[in-house]
Every structure is written in C-alpha cells, then in structure tokens.
Amino acid sequence: MKKQITILPGDGIGPEVVHEAVKVLEAIGGKSKLELTLSEALVGGAALEKAGEPLPAATLDLCRRSDAVLLGAIGHPRWDSMPPERRPERGLLGLRGELGLYANLRPARVYPSLAEASSLKAELVRDIDILIVRELTGGLYFGRPRGIEADRGYNTMIYHRHEVERIARTAFEAARRRRGKVTSVDKANVLEVSQFWRQVVVEVAREYPDVTLDHIYVDNCAMQLVRNPGQFDVLLTENMFGDILSDEAAMLTGSLGMLPSASLGSGTALYEPVHGSAPDIAGQGAANPIATISSVGMMLRYSLNMAAEADKLDQAINRVLESGARTRDIAPPGSAWITTAAMGAKIRTAYLEM
C-alpha cells in the first residue's frame, strides 16, 4: 500500500513533536509494509518568513494531492502585531477552508496511569472518555462581515442549515460507535444563531432514534466538565465553543500535550495536536510529543484504513506511561522527566516490540 503524506512542522515546538511523530509513523509503515512518501512543506510563521505568506500555494497544492496531512503547531508572539489576514493562524484557517475540513474530532480520555496528573481529583477523571465534535469552517472564525474600525471591532457568527446538518450527523454517527449519547452545546437562551443550531440538531436527531440527544448551554458545559466530566460521551459544538471547551477537556487529561485531533471533510484530512506552538519551551526538549503521535494514530484510523495499527499505537503509548516515563508537563512537581526525543523513542520501541 502506497500513501503520500504531507508534513507541516510549523512553528515553535511543532518541528520537535512532528519529528518524533514521523519516526513513529515510519516505524509503523516499515512493520506493516506501508510504503510512505513523506513531503515537507511550509505553513504559518515558517511560511511567512520564507515565502511571505502563511499558506503558500505550493503547500496547499501538495496537501490536496496527499492522502493525509500531519501538522505540528502554528504561531509566535512576534507576529501578533500583523494584520489579521497575514498572521500565521490564517494558514491553518486557510487549510481548513480550502480542504473542506468541517469536522474536528478531539478525543479526551485519561490513561489510567495519568489519573493523578489531572487538575481534578483522580476519582473524577479516571474513566473519562469524551469525544468533542467541533464544527470547523463556520461561526465567528469565518463569518462575514468582520473588521476593525476607529471605534469598534466586529465579527459575525453565522451558520447555514447544511453546515449544522453535516456536523450533527458526524456527531450522531460517532455516538453510534460509542455509548450512544450526544450532548449539543449552544447558547440558545441568548443567541439566535444558537436557537437555529438547536432547531437543526433536533431535526437531524430524528434520523438517529438509537442515539440519545440532550442540550446544554456552553457556560454550564464548561462548569460540568470540571464538576462531572464522566457524564459526557459525544459533545457537539460550534466552532468557537469547541475551541475553548476542548482545551478545558485537555487539562482534565493531565496536559494539552496529550490531546490529538483529526479534521475531516470533503478533502484531504488534517491531523494535529490540540496544543499550540509553545515558543517559550521550543528547543529545550521539554515538549510532549504524545498528542502528535496520537494524531498519527487518528490518521491510521481515518485516512489509512489501519485501525488495528492505531489500536496498537495506543497500547504502546499506554505501556510507556505505565512504565513511569513522563515528559515535563505530566511529571509530578520536582520529579525526573524525559525529553521529547526520549519519549518518542520509547513509544516507537514499545510499538515495534508488540
């Protein structure tokens, strides 16, 4: 089996964590006879520096011709003063829009050996297994008009029926493969767009009589995630709500460095860690590569039709964590931790030994 994968290291710690994830992917390919062609390209701040724009046409063309894309992270404070349309983040938003990636899947579950690393009590998080299904190409991030004027700044939150229908179906289909429950997140007590969102989700739910649907306001959802996270199975959210809540859910698992994501839609799928570029620790060997390596696992499952290998990779990560290996972000205060490269090597070895 031959597959073309585009690698977008990006900014900050992106190149470090992607380097380890690529090594794991190559090891999996070698063991399973998967013939990989890996091509690296520029996006974000790295693209701004070398090509003068956050998403060069050559990068977009390469992604379109690939079977999957692996992204590290985007952004750095030195570009914060740039006009919005020129900032590194526009590279990522451009990829999502141009590739038609409307569904962002963000699983949040706690490895048993990391229950004590969570910011909550271990008994609250020990059995967490949540899938956040976030709409990715609508809402405030893409709505028009938007702009900054002398005395005001403004954005537009807008959703069309087809956008809500397709992301809702993604959530209901996922729930069918899990525990059969969808919780739709909105702010229908205040926002008309949320009232419309709820209306359409209810209509789609009629197609899935075997799945339970309930609704929750976004502020209450934020509270419930730290009060009783085990109540959730699939969380269905619009774009900005999902962005915020998935970061909160990440901290329940011990660290942002643990959460992978998959962005799916009508074009080439994109896989990336939930965390940002963390420029303050770049080059120190302190970044956690597990989120990016787990994103490779999602790539195996959703783009490469290699679910068995994805399961084995998850087992390898669990085995390494059970051995006590910790990067700095998940190590107990004052205890020893291993480098980004060392964690990547341990996971790679554990997979090859299975």
Q: Rounded distance, CA 122 to CA 171, Å?
A: 28
Place of tokens 């990067």: 327
Of 3, 23, 102, 187, the active-site residue reads 187
The CA distance from 239 to 163, in Å, is 11
Q: Which of these is catalytic: 11, 186, 243, 314? A: 243
Q: Is the dihedral of CA 89, 52, 42, 14 positive or negative?
A: negative
Cα torsion through 198, 201, 206, 208, rounded to 10: -140
**Active site annotation includes 247:** yes
Annotation says 243 is catalytic: yes
In the residue annotation, 61 being an active-site residue is answered as no
Q: Which of 61, 127, 219, 280 is catalytic?
A: 219
Of 53, 117, 60, 114, the closest CA to residue 88 belongs to 53
Is 129 a known active-site residue? no
Of residues 67, 129, 181, 247, which has the active-site annotation?
247
Please say if 67 is a catalytic residue: no
CA distance 163 to 211: 20
Give long-range contacts, CB 8 A cutoff, 24+ apart: 80-85.
84/148
| Enzyme catalytic residues | 141, 187, 219, 243, 247
